[in-house]
Amino acid sequence: MQANQELVDLEHLRKIFSCAVDTKLQRIEADVVANLHEFLSKISVAADSRPQELEQYFQSYRIPDAPTQVSEQADFLQQQVVAHAVNISSPKFIGHMVSVLPSFVLPLAKIMTALNQNLVKTETSKSFTPLERQVVGMLHHLVYQRDESFYRQYLHSRQQAIGVFCSGGTIANITALWVARNKLLASRDGFAGVHVDGVTAALRHYGYRDLAMLVSQRGHYSLAKAADILGIGRKMLISVATDRHDSICSKDLRAKIKALRAQRVAIVALIGIAGTTETGGVDDLNAMAAIANDNGCHFHVDAAWGGAALFSVRHRQLLAGIAAADSVVIDAHKQLYTPIGAGVLLCKNPTSLDYICQQANYIIRTGSRDLGRHTLEGSRAGIALLVHSTLHILGQRSFELLINSTIATAKQFAELIIASQHFELITAPTLNILTYRYHPQPRYPLTLAAQRAINRLTTDMQRRQRSAGESFVSRTTLALQGHQEPVVVFRVVIANPLTTLSHLREVLDEQVEIAASLLADSGCDLYDYR
Amino acid sequence: MQANQELVDLEHLRKIFSCAVDTKLQRIEADVVANLHEFLSKISVAADSRPQELEQYFQSYRIPDAPTQVSEQADFLQQQVVAHAVNISSPKFIGHMVSVLPSFVLPLAKIMTALNQNLVKTETSKSFTPLERQVVGMLHHLVYQRDESFYRQYLHSRQQAIGVFCSGGTIANITALWVARNKLLASRDGFAGVHVDGVTAALRHYGYRDLAMLVSQRGHYSLAKAADILGIGRKMLISVATDRHDSICSKDLRAKIKALRAQRVAIVALIGIAGTTETGGVDDLNAMAAIANDNGCHFHVDAAWGGAALFSVRHRQLLAGIAAADSVVIDAHKQLYTPIGAGVLLCKNPTSLDYICQQANYIIRTGSRDLGRHTLEGSRAGIALLVHSTLHILGQRSFELLINSTIATAKQFAELIIASQHFELITAPTLNILTYRYHPQPRYPLTLAAQRAINRLTTDMQRRQRSAGESFVSRTTLALQGHQEPVVVFRVVIANPLTTLSHLREVLDEQVEIAASLLADSGCDLYDYR
């Protein structure tokens, strides 16, 4: 490049980084907002574009040499990205745990984006540091209900943390189990601890043959990742049976712990679930806490989804015992209605997070307020600002209404399914999640071939409904008592307060049509579909 | 709550979730934007508020019962959060690796926030999935320069991934080393692999006594986290000496590998650094690649900061050899000028990420396009949209200008320091990072007491300058050849293209004043300060 041209171009570039008011950008923003508004106002979930078609717009692997106009890029994003995104705000998007957002989030998110604070260190997040600690404290109080003096001591402690923000529930779960492993195999008697010497040396020192964690068969797959990355091994995430309420079977849990201990396998953690991803089932946390206590194990509760039930006088007893957990995960980006990127790990004991404490010369110094001392992640955005805003603008009572209302809707939907001649309810909603399948006039017992035929039909129905884009339910495969074969089911998550029974009726009506059409195309009966 | 009142409140709540145009919100947004604009336009970095004062606004640990007006919350955020945040857009904020943002990011970020897509699965991120894969491909090509047929095969492969987005460099580094560990201890001869059986069983099967990773003494602290969480142990992250250019010493590296192997310690990875966090030094990646090849080790390069030098014809030879790395990390939220939350891991071999492949019934199915199959995180936001936008709107040539210009500014600043009678340059800028200290008329050799006195003064100077809030440089402590004691230094990171030499002169002038004032207050000479 010519030196002169470089200077001219650099001057132009500097303007892009300066903070001057730019009317052209303002026009582009207005245009973007109008386009988003139009997209999000639709009832339908997605355009019926196929993945292969979309990929053609994203083929170039070369970073373009020359600049693109902002308006041109905005047009591209509107036409190829927004138009073919998934409208998770649709009241008929009832398939996954992604959240519709309250309307005030978008303007307030500008503060987070524009300031671009890095929460790893106070030097890059001054006021955001106490704000994030306050939000952690509020959620800690929601779970643990400790007294004034506790929070006075720990809310802004320079030594300890009672919880941390993470990018999501997966990192939060992994962090909790990292704490549990390091606590179990901590330094003692001249041994430096697993964090320093590694897993093999730790087992040798402690005289254990192996490590294990236990969770019901409905545990989230992030727990298997945790077992893998922590060096425990996926095999040693021991799966425990569930009862007919989809809650962990205490008897099986006790038996498995006993068998493990007999083989000198140390238990890193028992993991309770408050709202399983697949069915919304809740474990008996009191019973698990007692078992953990009897065995001196870390008790972790994955309440990423169901933690929000604590807002409700009507439903919080489902989670009774949660305050006995050593650690609890709640995802703010699920039922706290904030954008993705906000998982929270809460610890009963303020010393727990010391087991993974970091330091570095240039950053996160000991005795500082730096939040990065206790996180798995390094740089982190100030999304706590949006959780703070949601907690304040909605307030406890609105969260209670929201959770009550979505659970009520799920229960009404379950009744609708039960009353229908076309569908069979598979798991009833404990929280706001249920599963069902298309199965007119069930004739049990089913042959293996018939079970497989229904599974195939359910799979095809879900795919076709998803492709059509009018509505969206997800599907999963459940191992269930009384069924020889794993059962493929439609999985419904009700979290959008705008979802009404009439939307749900439309989803069912569409499925009846899809089933008829698939059966007609195949020329088969339900029980020998395809 | 009364049932009737509940219905009324719920109706009100539903409005908050509906997508209707809300003029009150629009006014609040305009207000928020004007406030942000005023804050970001300032040259000064931060108000001189003390942390203890700020904490008083974030004391309540109870989630408020009743709702707060959006306008009231917005006012609170403006007065207590924005006003006391760190203005990292200031040209005099030259202390950390957080990024000033181009002006087009804010309007385009609205698309990301409003759509709230979850990249874990195509069902919640339809068009965002190929978009993210394209961005991964572009950065892969920047590093590895593979040919057309390679990208045609792998860019949108349903089987494999050539890279993944992560929340940041830390998770990206951890993911890379997780891959390396699982690859080293993979399944074979009836052994199921470390991911299934855990670290201890794997070492037993392979006949290794222990595991280790090697990196220069300037390695980022995320690597110690990786050694801890992966079950390797922090002690087994072996620190290698650096030469006078702050680049890893090949001789020491070879010697340490040899010693480890003699003790049956398996090498999980050699880690090269392209832009150390503290000094910006770059390892000789060609030499490291050769050593890794000789020893059959995974070669990982942490180019979180320095990867952007690949944009520059003038500077990219610094990173020669990077294409031989098995994995490379680049942070888009550093010198690719996107908001925090965008780290990228790139893998030379498309099968590498298979070693950490996930699946679950309800999500990320095998053979699907779901991006969650190869990530440590679960739910992830669509920040790739902003990287896509930055790469297109700026283009390769602008990135080249930016990196050339910030490195040039750093070199000019180094000359200014060398020419000054007050300061001593400690590490010269290879990239756009340098370190220095206040040290008029150095009289070497220094007594131990004198060295410590200068360290104390440097620490106090940095703190006072930070508190005053006019400008910000960070500080770190370096172990350096020729110095008995670790040396406390000012650390400067030039990444804001608006930072000029005159800003840098002002930073130095302020430091001269601070030093004079601290020395006067203490009544001591520099060499016996405090």
Beta-carbon separation of B111 and A82 below 8 A: yes
Q: Answer whether B465's CB lies under 8 Å from B514's CB.
A: yes
Q: Which residues pair with A302 in a beta bridge?
A: A273, A329
- Give the per-residue pLDDT at A443: 87
Q: Answer whether B65's CB lies under 8 Å from A395's CB.
A: yes
B36 reaches A (C-beta below 8 A) = yes
- Give the per-residue pLDDT at B453: 97
Q: Which amino acid is at B294?
A: D
pLDDT band at residue B429 under the 50/70/90 scheme: very high
Q: Tell me the C-alpha distance between A90 and B90, whole Å.
A: 41
pLDDT band at residue B215 under the 50/70/90 scheme: very high
Q: What is the pLDDT of residues B137-176, one digit of tens each?
A: 999 999 999 999 999 999 999 999 999 999 999 999 999 9
Contacts of B1 in chain A (CB under 8 A): 397, 400-401
Give the closest of B6, B73, B128 to A401, CB-based: B6
Q: Answer whether B98's CB lies under 8 Å from A118's CB.
A: yes
- Give the per-residue pLDDT at A274: 98
Contacts of B491 in chain A (CB under 8 A): 362
Q: Answer whether A381's CB lies under 8 Å from A93's CB.
A: no
DSSP secondary structure of B428-455: --SSSEEEEEE-SS--SSPPHHHHHHHH
Give the closest of A55, A339, A475 to B113, CB-based: A339
- Give the per-residue pLDDT at A365: 65
Mean pLDDT in residue range A68-78: 97
- β-pair type (B343-347, B327-331): antiparallel
Contacts of B155 in chain A (CB under 8 A): 58-59, 61
Closest by CA position to A501, among listed A409, A401, A407: A409
Mean pLDDT in residue range A195-201: 97
Residue B196 has pLDDT above 60, yes or no: yes
pLDDT band at residue B358 under the 50/70/90 scheme: confident
Give the closest of B36, B111, B203 to A32, CB-based: B111
Looking at chain A, the whole-number percentage of residues with pLDDT higher than 90 is 92
Beta-carbon separation of B394 and A16 below 8 A: yes
Element (H, E) at A408: helix A384-419
Write the burial class of residue A43 (CB in 10 Å: 0-12 exposed, 13-18 middle, 19+ buried): middle
Beta-carbon separation of B116 and A122 below 8 A: no
Query: Beta-strand (E) ranges in A170-291?
Result: 210-216, 237-240, 265-273
Q: What is the pLDDT of residues A479-491, one digit of tens each?
A: 998 888 999 999 9
Of the ranges A91-95, A124-128, B312-316, B358-362, which one carries the lowest mean pLDDT score? B358-362
State the angle between helix axes of A105-115 and B23-41 in degrees (0 to 180), rounded to the nearest 10. Answer: 10
Residue B1 has pLDDT above 60, yes or no: no
- Give the per-residue pLDDT at B187: 95
Mean pLDDT in residue range A413-440: 97
Give the closest of A10, A58, A124 to B405, CB-based: A10
CA distances A296 to A212, A271, A326, B250, B278, Å, are 14, 14, 11, 48, 43
pLDDT band at residue B345 under the 50/70/90 scheme: very high
pLDDT band at residue B195 under the 50/70/90 scheme: very high
State the angle between helix axes of A3-17 and B384-419 in degrees (0 to 180), rounded to the nearest 10. Answer: 120
Q: Tell me the C-alpha distance between B231 and A527, whole Å.
A: 50
3 state SS of B361:
coil
* Residue in the structure block whose two tokens are 């987070």: A112
Q: Tell me the C-alpha distance between B308 and B315, whole Å.
A: 10
Q: Tell me the C-alpha distance between B130 and B239, whole Å.
A: 40
Give the closest of B66, B128, B341 to A381, CB-based: B341
- Give the per-residue pLDDT at A2: 64
3 state SS of A446:
coil
Nearest CA in chain B to A279: B362
- β-pair type (B265-273, B298-302): parallel
Closest by CA position to B77, among listed B38, B37, B36: B36
Q: What is the pLDDT of residues B470-511, one digit of tens each?
A: 999 999 999 998 888 999 999 999 999 999 999 999 999 999
A48 reaches B (C-beta below 8 A) = no
Mean pLDDT in residue range A167-178: 98
Nearest CA in chain A to B203: A200
Beta-carbon separation of A113 and B339 below 8 A: yes
- Give the per-residue pLDDT at B361: 59
Instruction: Order the strands of the B327-331 sheet from edge to edge.
Output: B163-166, B343-347, B327-331, B298-302, B265-273, B210-216, B237-240
- Give the per-residue pLDDT at B341: 98
Nearest CA in chain B to A21: B37
A91 reaches B (C-beta below 8 A) = no
Write the burial class of residue B214 (CB in 10 Å: 0-12 exposed, 13-18 middle, 19+ buried): buried
B236 reaches A (C-beta below 8 A) = yes
CA distances B143 to A360, B310, B420, Å, are 29, 7, 39
Instruction: Order the strands of the A474-478 sheet from edge to edge.
Output: A423-427, A433-438, A487-493, A474-478
Mutation pick from B8, B50, B124 vs chain A, by most beta carbons of A within 10 Å, is B124
Q: Answer whether B169's CB lies under 8 Å from B302's CB.
A: yes
- Give the per-residue pLDDT at B365: 66
- Give the per-residue pLDDT at B47: 94
Closest by CA position to A183, among listed A143, A211, A155, A225: A211
Beta-carbon separation of A117 and B192 below 8 A: no
Q: Answer whether A63's CB lies under 8 Å from A20's CB.
A: no
Residue A364 has pLDDT above 80, yes or no: no
Average pLDDT, chain B: 96
The verdict on pTM exceeding 0.95 is yes
Q: Which amino acid is at B403?
A: I
Q: Tell me the C-alpha distance between B263 and A44, whole Å.
A: 63
Residue B145, phi then psi, degrees to nearest 5: 50, 40
- Give the per-residue pLDDT at A244: 87
Residue A116 has pLDDT above 70, yes or no: yes
CA diameter of chain B: 83
3 state SS of A259:
helix
Give the closest of B76, B123, B192 to A466, CB-based: B123
Q: Tell me the C-alpha distance between B188 and B260, whole Å.
A: 24
Residue B4 has pLDDT above 90, yes or no: no
Mean pLDDT in residue range B27-32: 97
CB atoms within 10 A of CB B101: 25
Residue B360 has pLDDT above 80, yes or no: no
Looking at CA atoms only, how far is residue A401 from chain B in angstroms? 7
Give the closest of B99, B123, B491 to A474, CB-based: B123
Q: What is the DSSP letter of B190?
A: T
A444 reaches B (C-beta below 8 A) = no
Beta-carbon separation of B68 and A380 below 8 A: no
B479 reaches A (C-beta below 8 A) = no
Mean pLDDT in residue range B369-384: 96
Q: Answer whether B274's CB lies under 8 Å from B322's CB.
A: yes
Give the closest of B68, B109, B199 to A231, CB-based: B199
pLDDT band at residue B280 under the 50/70/90 scheme: very high
CA distances A242 to A54, A248, A282, B360, Å, are 41, 4, 10, 18
Q: How many CA atoms lie within 13 A of B187 on its CB side?
A: 9
- In the structure, how many helices (H) and strands (E) does chain B have? 16, 11
Q: Answer whether A202's CB lies under 8 Å from A189's CB.
A: no
Length of chain A measured in residues? 530
Q: What is the DSSP letter of B119?
A: T
Residue A248 has pLDDT above 60, yes or no: yes
Size of interface A-B (CB pairs under 8 A): 570
B169 reaches A (C-beta below 8 A) = yes
Q: Tell me the C-alpha distance between A99 and A87, whole Å.
A: 11
Cβ neighbors of B150 (< 8 A, separation 6 or more) are none
Residue A363 has pLDDT above 80, yes or no: no
